[in-house]
Amino acid sequence: MGVTILSQFFLDNKTGPQTIEVLSKRIAALGAVQQGHFLVDCETYTSVPQLGHQRTVHVLHNSEQPATVFSLLDNGTKITSLATDGLFDLLMMKMSHFYTSKKQTKVESKGLRYEIGDFCVKLGTVTVSSNCKGILVEVEYRPCVVPAMCWDLMKEFLQGFLGTAAPTNPPAYLQNKMQDIYFPIDTIHQYLDHFTMLRKKLFIS
């Protein structure tokens, strides 16, 4: 477990699958080896009106931590995070009187997982009810757990295969936490930020 940077990527006049193809070729040319698949998904539940002001619970799973369920509770002003065992999903089903989910809100990012030296790269296609909404590139630098100490290195690596589209600044969520130890829940926060943005998008061009 190291530091992870998640960024969106798109190419003009290219569809989702075409963009993935371009990226896979670039990463393979750098010497990356494909190591299986990955999946990050997010289901959103909202509180029923009788429960007072509206709160939203986002329940996320990451195939990198298959025995854990991550939940982020948004009360409008702050987000509280929680990590639990897999049975949390069952608990959410029991809570359906209080928190309900809409079928159309389920988002997932899935695709191929590559390893290249100390880096792990995941090229994900984001879909909402089987509509492609965009491409998310996840890069993890595994030997380090403090973002500030490896950000420059990661930025350079990202530029190596994303070119000018690579992020020039750390993700907004990480900017206040650059000196802190990085945890898997931090990756989940980044996914949620992107999922929220991509959900609002209609279709990828």
Partner 1 sequence: MSTPGNAMDSLSAALKCNIIPNQEYLLQGSVLDQYVEVLLHRLRGLCDNVDSGPETFHDHEICFSLRIPNSGATTSMPMSVFSLRVRRAIDVTDTPFQLRYIGQQELGDKNRPTVVRSSIDMACSSSIIEFLNELGCRIDFEYIARGYMFRKGRMKITVSKIFKMGSNKQESVEPISQSYIVELSVLAPSGQDSIGEDMRIFAEQLRPLVQLEKIDYKRLSNMM
Q: What whole-number distance in Å separates Cα of residue 23 and Cα of residue 63?
A: 21
Decide whether 88 or 155 has the Cβ nearer to partner 1: 88
Closest distance between partner 1 and the C-beta of residue 48, in Å?
7
Decide whether 41 or 193 has the Cβ nearer to partner 1: 41
Decide whether 31 or 49 has the Cβ nearer to partner 1: 49
Closest distance between partner 1 and the C-beta of residue 170, in Å?
24
Closest distance between partner 1 and the C-beta of residue 191, in Å?
14
Decide whether 109 or 190 has the Cβ nearer to partner 1: 109
Looking only at Cα atoms, what is the longest distance across the chain? Answer: 56
Closest distance between partner 1 and the C-beta of residue 80, in Å?
5
The residues of the shown chain that bind partner 1, judged by CB under 8 A, are: 35-39, 41, 43, 47-48, 50-52, 55, 57, 61, 63, 66, 69, 71, 73, 75, 80-91, 94-95, 97-98, 108, 110
DSSP secondary structure letters along the chain: --EEEEEEE--TT--HHHHHHHHHHHHHHTT-EEEEEEEEEEEEEEE-GGGSS--EEEEEEETTSTTEEEEEEE-SS-EEEEEEETTHHHHHHHTTTTEEE-GGG-EEEEEEEEEETTEEEEEEEEEETTEEEEEEEEEEETT---HHHHHHHHHHHHHHHHGGGS-SS--GGGTT-TTSPP-HHHHHHHHHHHHHHHHH-----
Decide whether 82 or 149 has the Cβ nearer to partner 1: 82
Decide whether 48 or 197 has the Cβ nearer to partner 1: 48
Closest distance between partner 1 and the C-beta of residue 52, in Å?
6
Closest distance between partner 1 and the C-beta of residue 171, in Å?
21
